[in-house]
């Protein structure tokens, strides 16, 4: 909890006068003074609390904290305010003040419709029908058709929103499970799956969330199929939807930020730097406004999206050495948000940090961070990241001249590739090259690098084999070895040509 949240809680606990004897507040003060939970120390600090009471007191404290936080953050959460209005309408109804209750429900519906919260509109409509259906307001004759039409229209919108949100969620789940399409059969299967479940939608008549979930579903479909130009198109529509609706941008900031992030990731994949730079500047400007940092969720997302895309910017520009300047603050924030970030996201950051060190000519430091990925046993990390971490580690050992460990690394990668269900041609080609590298004489090295580069260039022409090159730009590394220049010089030259 923040300092202001703690202060609010103490004021909240004091709302009924003297707090003397409020043991849950004494428990809170004792816990607040501890860095780590120490039950014996806490009981000694508050003699009024007996150990047998502790479970009930902690449960009561938890409820009180949630109530306080609900009140504290209500001003930034319209749905909390609307549910509160529903509760007030119920209180008025129970008191027999039916017209007052109906007027409150009518105002609630107008606000909920403006905020595109049709699920709350539906709750209000059901309550209105309950009141009117008891024939106690004498207005049912004029309201029957109106309420019926309102309910039918609202249910239709809510139904389509759920269909589209379900599809978007399933497409995201498919991406997490299978990654990108690997061949034509994969493409045809996911396309049939997507089109079968995509409901018909007239975007001109669609609600805000119908449009949003429609765009989300398409973003994930085109991400899976590696059609990045179409992915960019729908990610931009996602962002434009918020840019054209100030209220929704303020009410749903997390979804807006996610849209910006998807545009950034897609422009990075397309190497569309000018657009990437514009959108990153918009994200940075958003983050610099303290008024927008309304809760820990937004803080976490801003950290995740800003640093991910800052790193991607350094990669695109070939500025590996310059990128190392943000590593200390990145590591500090990784620790700060340790509880909010899942292990997968932390390890992806480690992989990116390792790539910075490798590109800046510090293979030993790259190995240090790659080991954090390779030897992390508690996370179910995607096989592709694990695989590329091992391959990059192999190359880093070669670059560092650590020949004594190279044979072990080769055997380790060989075992890992043998366990993979679908080895890609890029992975197999690099492994075969590194396995035979010890037999190549110094005078033959350049020719061997050129041969592998030509082989990988052919592989990269296959649209289903392009994705691995986004994780590991092995072709640029080979060009650096052929020309005998640092790899970041090669990438800077490519970046200059793109601009």
Q: Assign 350 a pLDDT band (cuts: 50, 70, 90).
A: very high
With 0-12 / 13-18 / 19 or more C-beta atoms within 10 angstroms meaning exposed / middle / buried, residue 412 is middle
Residue whose entry in the numeric block shows the structure tokens 């969330």: 209
271, 243, 262: which is closest to 172 by C-alpha? 262
The percent helix, strand, coil of the chain (3-state, each to 5) is 80, 0, 20
Q: What is the predicted pLDDT for the residue at 499? A: 63
d(CA 131, CA 239): 41
Better-scored residue on pLDDT, 396 or 217: 217
Question: Do residues 379 and 344 lie in contact, with contact meaning Cβ atoms separated by under 8 Å?
Answer: yes
- Provide, rounded to the nearest whole percent, the portion of the chain with pLDDT above 70: 91
Instruction: Kindly state the tokens that stand for 389.
Output: 């971490």
d(CA 52, CA 443): 79
| Of 76-90, 181-195, 456-470, minimum mean pLDDT range | 456-470
Q: What is the predicted pLDDT for the residue at 330? A: 95
d(CA 355, CA 439): 27
d(CA 484, CA 478): 9
Q: Tell me the mean pLDDT in the region 166-174.
A: 89
d(CA 218, CA 205): 19
SS (H, E, C) 70-112: HHHHHHHCHHHHHHHHHHHHHHHHHCCCHHHHHHHHHHHHHHH
Longest Cα–Cα distance in the chain:
99
Q: What is the predicted pLDDT for the residue at 135? A: 57
Q: What is the predicted pLDDT for the residue at 5? A: 81
Q: What is the predicted pLDDT for the residue at 425? A: 79
| Of 65-69, 158-162, 222-226, 400-404, minimum mean pLDDT range | 400-404
Beta carbons within 10 angstroms of residue 410's beta carbon: 18
Angstrom CA distances, 161 to 117, 156, 206, 209, stand at 11, 9, 9, 6
Torsion-angle region of residue 271: left (phi > 0), alpha (psi -120 to 50) or beta?
A: left
Dihedral angle at the C-alpha atoms of 347, 334, 175, 257, nearest 10 degrees?
-160
120, 107, 198, 210: which is closest to 156 by C-alpha? 210
Residue 283 has pLDDT above 80, yes or no: yes
DSSP category for residue 35: S
CA angle 365, 369, 373 (to 5 degrees): 155
Better-scored residue on pLDDT, 196 or 144: 196
Beta carbons within 10 angstroms of residue 157's beta carbon: 20
pLDDT in tens, 376-406: 765 455 666 777 788 888 888 888 887 666 6
Q: Assign 422 a pLDDT band (cuts: 50, 70, 90).
A: low
DSSP letters along 424-445, please? -HHHHHHHHHHHHGGGS-GGGH
Q: What is the predicted pLDDT for the residue at 281? A: 95
| Of 227-241, 268-282, 458-472, minimum mean pLDDT range | 458-472
Torsion-angle region of residue 226: left (phi > 0), alpha (psi -120 to 50) or beta?
A: left
Beta carbons within 10 angstroms of residue 2's beta carbon: 10
Instruction: Kindly state the tokens that stand for 169.
Output: 């969620």
d(CA 275, CA 263): 9
pLDDT in tens, 326-340: 999 999 999 988 888
Question: Do residues 180 and 224 lie in contact, with contact meaning Cβ atoms separated by under 8 Å?
Answer: yes
d(CA 394, CA 471): 15
Q: Assign 136 a pLDDT band (cuts: 50, 70, 90).
A: low
DSSP letters along 295-344, please? SHHHHHHHHHHHHHHHHHHHHHHT-HHHHGGGHHHHHHHHHHTTTTS-HH
Q: What is the predicted pLDDT for the residue at 324? A: 94
Q: b vs e for 344-361, b when ≥16 Cβ sit within 10 Å of the residue's Cβ?
A: eebbbbbbbbbbbbbbbe
| Of 209-213, 229-233, 267-271, minimum mean pLDDT range | 267-271
Q: What is the predicted pLDDT for the residue at 395? A: 83
- Provide, rounded to the nearest whole percent, the portion of the chain with pLDDT above 90: 28
Q: What is the predicted pLDDT for the residue at 217? A: 94
Q: What is the predicted pLDDT for the residue at 447? A: 84
| Of 49-63, 78-92, 381-395, 473-487, minimum mean pLDDT range | 381-395
158, 159, 103: which is closest to 127 by C-alpha? 103
DSSP letters along 350-382, please? HHHHHHHHHHTT-HHHHHHHHHHHHT--SS---
Residue 416 has pLDDT above 80, yes or no: no
Range among 23-37, 335-349, 384-398, 412-426 with highest mean pLDDT value = 335-349
| Of 12-16, 159-163, 283-287, minimum mean pLDDT range | 12-16
Residue 494 has pLDDT above 80, yes or no: no
Better-scored residue on pLDDT, 283 or 407: 283
Q: Tell me the mean pLDDT in the region 444-459.
A: 83
Q: Tell me the mean pLDDT in the region 43-58.
A: 81
Mean pLDDT of the chain: 84
């Amino acid at each position: 909890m923040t300092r202001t949240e703690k202060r609010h809680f103490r004021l909240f606990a004091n709302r009924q006068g003297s707090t003397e004897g409020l043991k849950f507040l004494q428990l809170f003060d004792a816990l607040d003074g501890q860095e780590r939970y120490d039950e014996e120390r806490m009981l000694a600090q508050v003699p009024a609390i007996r150990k047998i009471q502790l479970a009930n007191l902690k449960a009561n404290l938890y409820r009180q904290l949630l109530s306080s936080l609900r009140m504290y953050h209500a001003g930034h959460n319209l749905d909390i305010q609307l549910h509160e209005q529903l509760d007030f309408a119920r209180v008025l109804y129970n008191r027999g003040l039916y017209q007052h209750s109906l007027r409150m429900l009518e105002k609630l519906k107008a606000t909920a419709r403006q905020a595109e919260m049709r699920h709350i509109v539906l709750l209000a409509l059901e309550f209105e029908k309950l009141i009117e259906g008891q024939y106690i307001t004498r207005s049912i004759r004029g309201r029957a058709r109106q309420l019926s039409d309102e309910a039918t229209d609202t249910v239709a919108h809510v139904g389509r929103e759920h269909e589209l949100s379900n599809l978007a969620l399933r497409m995201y789940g498919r991406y997490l499970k299978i990654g990108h399409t690997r061949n034509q059969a994969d493409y045809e299967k996911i396309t049939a799956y997507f089109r079968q479940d995509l409901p018909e939608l007239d975007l001109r008549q669609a609600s805000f969330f119908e449009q949003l979930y429609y765009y989300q579903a398409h973003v994930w479909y085109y991400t899976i199929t590696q059609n990045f130009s179409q992915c960019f198109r729908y990610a931009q529509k996602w962002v434009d939807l918020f840019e054209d609706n100030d209220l929704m941008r303020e009410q749903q900031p997390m979804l807006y930020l996610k849209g910006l992030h998807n545009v950034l990731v897609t422009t990075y994949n397309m190497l569309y730097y000018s657009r990437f730079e514009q959108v990153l500047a918009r994200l940075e400007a958003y983050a610099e406004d303290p008024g927008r940092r309304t809760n820990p969720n937004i803080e976490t997302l801003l950290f995740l999206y800003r640093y991910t895309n800052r790193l991607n910017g350094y990669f695109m520009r070939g500025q590996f050495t310059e990128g190392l300047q943000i590593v200390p603050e990145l590591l500090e924030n990784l620790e700060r948000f340790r509880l909010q970030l899942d292990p997968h996201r932390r390890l992806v950051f480690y992989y990116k940090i390792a790539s910075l060190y490798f590109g800046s000519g510090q293979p030993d430091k790259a190995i240090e961070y790659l080991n954090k990925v390779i030897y992390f046993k508690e996370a179910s990390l995607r096989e592709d990241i694990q695989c590329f971490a091992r391959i990059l580690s192999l190359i880093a050992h070669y670059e560092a001249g650590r020949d004594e460990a190279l044979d072990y690394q080769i055997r380790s990668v060989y075992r890992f590739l043998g366990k993979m269900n679908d080895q890609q041609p890029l992975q197999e080609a690099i492994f075969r090259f590194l396995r035979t590298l010890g037999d190549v004489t110094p005078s033959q090295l350049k020719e061997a690098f050129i041969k592998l580069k030509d082989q990988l260039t052919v592989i990269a022409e296959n649209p289903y084999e392009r994705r691995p090159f986004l994780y590991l730009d092995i072709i640029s590394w080979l060009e650096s070895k052929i020309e005998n220049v640092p790899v970041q010089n090669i990438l800077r030259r490519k970046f200059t040509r793109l601009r």
